Amino acid sequence: MNKIAQLWRIAMHPRELRLALSGLGTRLGGDGAMGGLTDEETAALVRWTTDSGVSSFVEIGTLFGFTARAVAKGALARVVAVDNFCWNPFGLTSAQHESFTRRVVADGGVELVRADAEGFLGSLSQCVDPSTSLVFLDGSHRYEDVKREIELCVAQKVRILSGHDFGNGRFGVTRAVREVLGEPDEVCGMCWMKRLHNG
């Protein structure tokens, strides 16, 4: 069975995929956090999107599209998922990764965009109205990249900014968030949220 077929079999059961990602992270010497959100974190994203009344949810770094699909199912908002498909934990080629992700979101009400985070965020207003959007950052976790992405969202006047891996000492997310935004308004698991504009 090829990689895509194996991954598709796992993907039909989201908890199984989360276990596969967790197991892979552990085998690579990490803490098991290797992509994917917990049910609690996903529910928080849906709640933040719904309660704020934003018209768009934009995910930067969609990996396989499961979070975007869950938000599209649970919130009344346009969902845009952005990835450049340069990395995945299963060693898929960029073309395989994109093809698989497109299959995942095909009937889920998600618009999938192939783009680099910085380029997309720099021209965010060409895709959505930033003042009525929640942007979720979960692509690069390097301090410099996250800081730049946050700065671009602030410059674009994004209504609500959120992201993953806050409090995870392996990455630069926490430092970047605190330096640019101060403390988040809410944290659920490793997901953080900050209201930037009332809209």
> What pTM did the predictor assign?
0.87
Region 73-82 average pLDDT: 95
**Topology of domain 37-195, per CATH?**
Rossmann fold (3.40.50)
Domain spans of the chain, in order of start: 37-195
Is the model's pLDDT at 19 over the cut of 70? no
In angstroms, rounded to a whole number, what is the distance separating the alpha carbons of residues 157 and 5? 42
pLDDT computed for residue 197 by the predictor: 82
Region 25-47 average pLDDT: 70
More confident site: 90 or 151: 151
**116-175 tens-digit pLDDT:** 999 999 999 999 999 999 999 999 999 999 999 999 999 999 999 999 999 999 999 999
**21-30 tens-digit pLDDT:** 555 444 444 4
Long-range pairs, 81-84, Cβ under 8 A, ≥24: 81/105, 81/110, 81/111, 81/112, 81/113, 82/58, 82/113, 82/114, 82/115, 82/117, 82/120, 82/139, 83/112, 83/113, 83/114, 83/115, 83/139, 84/114, 84/115, 84/116, 84/117
Region 107-116 average pLDDT: 96
